[in-house]
Amino acid sequence: MDDTGWIDRFIRHLEFERRLSPLTCENYRRDLKTLAAWCEKSGVGSWDDLNSEHVRAYSASCFRKGLSARSIQRRLSASRTFFRYLMREKKVEKNPITSVSAPKGKKRLPGNLDADRMARLLAIPGDGAIIDRDRAILELLYSSGLRLAELVDLNIGDVDMHDATVHVTGKGNKDRVVPVGRQALKALRQWSITRSDLADADEKAMFVSNRGTRISSRSVQARVKHWAKKQGIDANVYPHLFRHSFATHVLESSHDLRGVQELLGHANISTTQVYTHLDFQHLAQIYDQTHPRARKKNDT
């Protein structure tokens, strides 16, 4: 194509105007480069030549290559956002992605660890700066339901030990304040004592690597898998699993969907509702016991 430079302009727009994370911007770039490569191969000369039939053919080619419905949906979503930007910049007159739907895939329910296995995972033995750091990371992920990127981006001042809260900057640069549990606070206090054994003198990051600088997402993933294996957890454990477990366990106890939505920082409650299936049987029992049209006569 002769105008792929628009992708670079769009990515700068995401970085500096919408202030999206570097990882999100890189995902957009990769998906749009894939679309541009398909256009080049298919003889589509520029973005204003792309129409809905082209987009359907592109979606079909992705499907034939074995991409999941979810991956195709992500690619089309990135393209749809890109074309909204092109319309704003008067590069194109219409958005050819709007009328195209990706194939529907099976809805995957989020996994989670039950409370007993989570307690076993968090019972990390030993001491020292690395262990103190890892214990604080795992406790905070579960205690506050943070996303991996949110945890990695934390600075020292974001955790208020006195108020037992953590200030988080989530998706779309949206801020929220989340409670921190007693065990997580204990782990964070211990980490604050030994953090200077690892951290560079002027490093602001809450969690650092053994090189003294801000820990990477990949390192956190590796440490989570390390401790899951060491603690004998028979499941695929990854950082986001702590968030799923957090949401599930809080919802099971509180039955407050709106509250869980606020804690997770979900913009739309439909995103949070995926957790309701996990405790449906218990909710059904509450319904039977409390609803006027469901209670048995001898219960009144």
Catalytic residue set:
147, 171, 240, 243, 266, 275
CB 138 within 8 A of CB 113: no
DSSP secondary structure code for residue 292 in this structure: T
Helix (H, G, I), strand (E, B) or coil at 46: coil
Burial of 35 (0-12, 13-18, 19+ CB in 10 A): buried
CA nearest to 224, candidates 115, 128, 151: 151
DSSP state of 128: S
Nearest to 264 by CA among 141, 117, 152, 119: 141
Other beta carbons within 10 Å of 107: 9
Residue pair 216/208 in contact (Cβ under 8 Å)? The answer is: no
Q: Which two tokens stand for residue 131?
A: 């262990």
